[in-house]
A and B are shown apart, each in its own frame.
Chain A
Amino acid sequence: MAGGVALDVRGVSKVYRRGRLEVVALREVSFRLEAGSALAIMGPSGAGKTTLLNILAGLDTPTRGEVWIAGERLDALDAEAATIFRRRHIGFVFQFFNLLPTLTAAENVGLPLLAERLSRREVTARAHAALAQVGLADRADHRPDELSGGEQQRVAIARALVLRPRLVLADEPTGNLDSQTGRQIVGLLRALVTEHGIALLAVTHSEAVADACDRVLEIQDGAIRPACA
């Protein structure tokens, strides 16, 4: 897969104002992430991880600084354009999977494709192919409550990858799984990222997830720095 910078975060700060009170959530955060590589961001609760994820996803805007993904400046896009950009270039893996409980695995995976106005036949075909990549071809018609935690997270990974994004943001991807299943999920994510040349940014408390990444950054009081070895 082609290399290059998938994510370039330049001096991002985020300040929330509540009346006269200013809360600094992020302070001059800068880092780069190459395509095909994985980065773990660790830090205690309240350190600014969620704020950083929201900004990297285009769900929130920085007070200062720039976010470049695949050569495009995300923070300069309006909400509608950011949503479309997110759908096409960013995949999400959540701690609690965030699958729609009323839909089957294939329908969940196909959701981003629906918004691309593909035909129903093509949506189904691509969703099944994505499920096959994560080893769930035979579970396509099962609903989330009929799947184990590990299987649900695999479905979420398939959904994140179905539109071949440049960047995958994972929020505690193993946080709701037992350690053995967590290792399997990390292994799967890592393999798919490498295989498809996708950049992976995982926010995690898990040493196992961090160990599987190429690089680890620590966030503390909104500031980021390389983690101690």
Chain B
Amino acid sequence: MGGWVALLGVGGIAAGVGLAFLPPGVSEGVWVAAIDAVDAAAIAGAAGLAPLLVQAAGRLARALTARVRSVPLRLATIQLPRAAVHGGATTATIAGALAIASALAILVGSFENACLAWVEQHFAADLLVGRGDRLRLLAGPPFGPGVAAAVRGIDGVAGVEPFQVLRIDMEGRPVCLQGLAIAERLARGGLPMVEGTLEGAAAELRAGTGALLSDNLAYRRGLHVGDRIALPSPEGVVSLRVAGTFVDFLGSLDLGAVVVADDLLRTRWHDAAASLLRVWLAPGANAADVRRRVLERLGGGYFALTGQDFVVAIRTLLDRFFRTTWLLIVVSTFIGVIGIVNTQVASMLDRARTNATLHTIGIPVRAIARGVLVECALLGVAGGLLGTTVGIVLGTDAIWWSLPVLTGWRLPVRLPAAELLVGGAAAALVSAAAGWVPARAATRIHLGTRSVD
């Protein structure tokens, strides 16, 4: 039975890795089912692999410590390979908790990484000005074209680039329609393009015959450069050629974004407002001074952030957005600790007679208890390694497959090596600390009577 479960695990993990080499093309439901099946197989298999891993960890520890004469270490390395079922249960618990935590950490880390990289390019500006008391994750409250004109006239301002987002329907599903100041964007770093170039698309955009699609929208709708899209507008359906695709997160979330020239937004959607201004300073201008002047000119109800402040604000927004996720990580770690305590206390109760015998033949109680701590730490190391491995597979699967299928986002995987290392080390430490309870249980056994009764 254990062998089959282990085989399932190896198969699941291998299939998880193998998914990366399969081309997409089947339906969303099939993909999601396949990914879920692979993830479930990987988790179940990891649990099945745990006893084998415990045996291997015990033997390895014994080989590595052959010359060490510490009694607790010797007891632990003798017991561990032979108590693979109980140890395996503990390891599987740790591995399960750590796998979830690692997968979430990879998911969150990769998203934050990609999103912040995009923010730094897409929203690179000396100042960002908007309405309201704070930056909004989606588009903030709109304001009229007079605001942009007023800011342009402020001493030290070299350029102003309005940015507007409208929510419209495209083939029955909501998308974010963004109005872009083409000349300003071209002059200020362009867009992070996936297909085509902004320079190549500029003519079609200015002419009102072309549009750019966010990569997630293009991926989910299967659209590429040259395809046509139809957008409803107050002036009737606007048919546009896809002139390029670009990376976009914040303005569209998983809805997807369509970018048109701001002139087209004004003429076909009758929208000349903006929800955010990118402000560029003249050479030598002091950002703090210009910011003060902007706020003075606009009066109350507006915010102005420096580029640096903006990134901090985005980080804060993302942190708020993912706070629940981090809570999940903490909860899964807590569950792991409870699991360790639970299974190891059960193991100690099972081994009451063994511990009593050890004490009777002259092994000090303290050495027995320390042996339990070492055992728990070794289980933590095994669980940490297994959990991190499975977590990397699950996290990578989620980014490579689940996320594109569900949201269209195609993110580069960022393995948070430091966090994963800390997580693995913490698993060992937490496991050893959690061993304190069963170790105490081991010392509280009525050793004498148990052994000779």
Contact = CB atoms under 8 A, between A and B. Distances in A.
Contacts of B75: 114
Contact of B453 (A50, A111, A159): A50
B451 A94 contact: yes
A79 B363 CA distance: 11
A171 to B, nearest CB: 5
Contact of B71 (A98, A114, A171): A114
A209 to B, nearest CB: 16
A64 interface: no
A50 to B, nearest CB: 6
Contacts of B82: 102-103
A102 B76 CA distance: 12
Given A50-B449, A50-B453, A119-B69, A103 B363 contact: no
Interface residues of B, number: 29
A115 B357 contact: no
Interface in B353-369: 353-354, 357-367
A77 interface: no
A92 B363 CA distance: 13
Contacts of B448: 54, 57, 59-60
B83 interface: yes
A88 B365 CA distance: 16
A80 interface: yes
Contacts of B83: 102
A83 interface: yes
A225 interface: no
B452 A83 contact: no
A195 B358 CA distance: 27
A111 B71 CA distance: 10
A103 B362 CA distance: 17
A115 B453 contact: no
B79 A102 contact: yes
A80 B69 CA distance: 19
A115 B367 contact: yes
B452 A86 contact: no
B367 A86 contact: no
Contacts of A87: 361-363
A84 interface: yes
B452 A115 contact: no
B78 A103 contact: yes
Given A50-B453, A60-B448, A80 B366 contact: yes
A111 B452 contact: no
Interface string B415-453: 000000000000000000000000000000001110111
Interface of B: 66-67, 69, 71, 74-75, 78-79, 82-83, 353-354, 357-367, 447-449, 451-453
9 contacts: A50-B453, A60-B448, A80-B366, A83-B363, A83-B365, A92-B360, A114-B71, A115-B71, A115-B362
